[in-house]
């Protein structure tokens, strides 16, 4: 993980304050406020930090949570998982395997075929519309 070696200062220069807080510090945007929670455009969702392809719009669905939700990553190797949960909420963190950016969390209450719900922050994503 984290093939990109940037200083904290370099990340701050590249990202907006909200993107920095979410992607580099593990924050969360409020529900129903992010750019992509109700987006139905076709394309590839990429990491806002490094541009790595993460999720395809074909796997995006309406979860009712207020965050963009997907049932699988574009490739399993695109993301990594951490069960470290400082808030003790039993969540599994999802990060970009290329740069370590915090994306959101994965839950086991999603639709078929995976049964997973990748609940992500819009601020951690950039949609490459096709």
Catalytic center residues: 119
Q: Is the dihedral of CA 47, 6, 107, 16 positive or negative?
A: negative
The two three-digit tokens of residue 60, written as one number? 């995006």
- One DSSP character per residue, 71-83 reads SS-SSGGGEEEE-
- Please choose, from the candidates 66, 64, 74, 59, the residue with its C-alpha nearest in 3D space to the C-alpha of residue 115: 59
CA 39 to chain centre: 15
């Amino acid at each position: 993980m984290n093939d990109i070696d940037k200083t904290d200062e370099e990340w701050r220069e590249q990202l907006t304050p909200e993107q920095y807080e979410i992607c580099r510090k593990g924050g969360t945007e409020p529900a129903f406020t992010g750019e992509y929670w109700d987006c139905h455009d076709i394309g590839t969702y990429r990491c806002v930090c490094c541009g790595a392809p993460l999720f395809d719009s074909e796997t995006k669905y309406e979860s009712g949570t207020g965050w963009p939700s997907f049932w699988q990553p574009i490739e399993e190797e695109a993301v990594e998982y951490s069960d470290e949960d400082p808030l003790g909420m039993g969540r599994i963190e999802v990060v970009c395997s290329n740069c370590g950016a915090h994306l959101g969390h994965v839950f086991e209450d999603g639709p078929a075929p995976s049964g997973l719900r990748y609940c992500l922050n819009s601020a951690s994503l950039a949609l490459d519309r096709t």
